Chains A and B, each alone.
Chain A
Amino acid sequence: MNDLMTTTSVLGSRERRDHLLARLGHRRMEHRVAPGLYRLGGPDRSSPVFVSANYTLSFDALRSALHGIDAYILVLDTKGVNVWCAAGKGTFGTDELVERIEATALAERVDHRRLILPQLSAPGVAAHEVKARTGFSVEYGPVRAADLPEYLSTGATEEMRRVTFPLRDRAALIPVELRNVAYEVILAFVALFILGGIVPASIALTAVLAGAALFPILLPVLPTDDFTSKGMLLGALASMPFALYYLMTEPGWHGVVYAAGTVLLMVAVTGYLALNFTGCSTYASRTGVKGEIFRYIPSLVAMAVVGLVMIAVTVAGTMLGWF
């Protein structure tokens, strides 16, 4: 436990491959580094101590940001989960930090009593308790490890303390979003293709792509306030080509029923997927999400049921010669 491990600030092809696989959702919980104390460069008794999670993306973001800096990195056992989520669960927490400081005999390695933690670990760590239990003062560094060099030289700016959700970060989540629904989508696509051909199958695929891929990209520009209504709006837009197709190709009221049913179903599916994106965002609150669930789930279910029944009755009735 008392061993000092060595790391570098250089990321190579092995790390890039690991990061790509993590982003693709491959073996999500297995992108881990060994917890413990690491030496970066040639630290001495006055070198800074940074604390990180044992998720490769977290640890690698930290060490690559510290290029040219001699430091210690204390890696907590967060079960392979990133800093912010682990802090929310409490695994990046006061107890784990205190135990890790003791297990690595950190106090014997350095003369100072100062730790730099990522700002987003604060939901799990009580700085004053760490101080009382170990003598180490906790300093919260910037939200993003990339800001560390500037933080170390000039201190925190307002901007460094704020979490954002830029396009790049939203887009990075799309592969895992798609992976989470892949099984259901393939099933729906095949079933609908057999039952009704390429158009119904494409409708299912489009609704899911709109909710899981287009929605994260368009999140800030969709002109309503909450996630679900943004998704419903997107679902309605995505359904328009299919609705028009049915209105133009199916004669009489059948076309109207198929078009209306398609709109209802796509709004429901895309809206539901959008609601499920709340946890991936950097700003949804539990109270807000609870409110959305109660506000929208009943109407989403109603739309899906009505849409499905409308289409099913019309298809079945036509086949059986009722109409």
Chain B
Amino acid sequence: MMTTEQESVNGLNTLRFLPGRCVRCGRCWEVCPHGVFAPSERKARMVAPQRCMECGACQRNCPAGAISVDAGVGCASAMIKAALTGSKETSCGPECCR
């Protein structure tokens, strides 16, 4: 039985979707670069949470607060550097590959 506040969670990453709050504005499937969300009849639907890279685009652009994700950069280099220097923040630097 689906209540309005029931969460769609997944065991692979931090992406959470609250369909009860969804207003079907279409932003999440517009911004997601990996096709995690797709439209369904009355709501958005999380169709491929395993492809989520936690960039945070959907959460930031959801006007209804129906999506939450612990957004961050999936960069081992930055995380290891932060761990070694005791810095709280994992951030990119001039040596970044991009």
**Interface on A for B, CB 8 Å cutoff?**
28-29, 81-82, 84-85, 87-89, 119-120, 122-128, 140, 143, 156, 158, 161-163, 173, 176-177, 180, 227, 275-290, 292-293
How far is B73's CA from A281's CA once the two chains are assembled, in angstroms? 11
Q: Give me 12 other A-B pairs in contact (C-beta within 8 A), A85-B92, A124-B60 excluded.
A: A84-B98, A85-B98, A87-B57, A119-B31, A122-B57, A123-B55, A123-B57, A128-B61, A128-B63, A162-B34, A283-B34, A286-B72
B94 touches A158 (CB 8 A): no
With A and B bound together, what is the CA distance between A288 and B78 in angstroms?
14
Known: A28-B95, A123-B55, A123-B60. Is A284-B31 also a contact (CB below 8 A)?
A: no
Q: Tell me whether B43 is interfacial, beta carbon within 8 Å.
A: no
Interface residue SS majority, chain A: helix
Given A126-B61, A162-B34, A163-B33, A28 and B94 contact (CB-CB distance below 8 Å): yes
B1 touches A (CB below 8 Å) = no
Q: Which 6 A-B pairs have the closest CB atoms?
A: A279-B75, A284-B74, A122-B57, A122-B31, A163-B33, A286-B72
Q: Shortest beta-carbon distance, A115 to chain B, in Å?
A: 14
Residues of A within 8 A of B53 (CB): 282-285, 288
When distances are taken between beta carbons in the complex, the residues of chain A under 8 Å from B74 are: 278-279, 281, 283-289
Inside 8 A of B54's CB, which chain A residues have their CB? 285-287
Contact of B13 with A by CB under 8 A = yes
A66: min CB distance to chain B, Å? 21
In the complex the two chains form, what is the Cα distance from A28 to B94 in whole Å? 6
B9 within 8 A of A: no
Instruction: Decide: A287 and B14 in contact? CB cutoff 8 A.
Output: yes
- The answer to whether A85 touches B96 (Cβ under 8 A) is yes
Which residues from 5 to 60 on chain B have a C-beta closer than 8 Å to any C-beta of chain A? Answer: 12-14, 27, 29-35, 51-58, 60
Query: From residue B38, how far is it (CB to closest CB) to chain A in Å?
Result: 10
* In the complex, chain A residues whose CB is within 8 Å of the CB of B63: 128
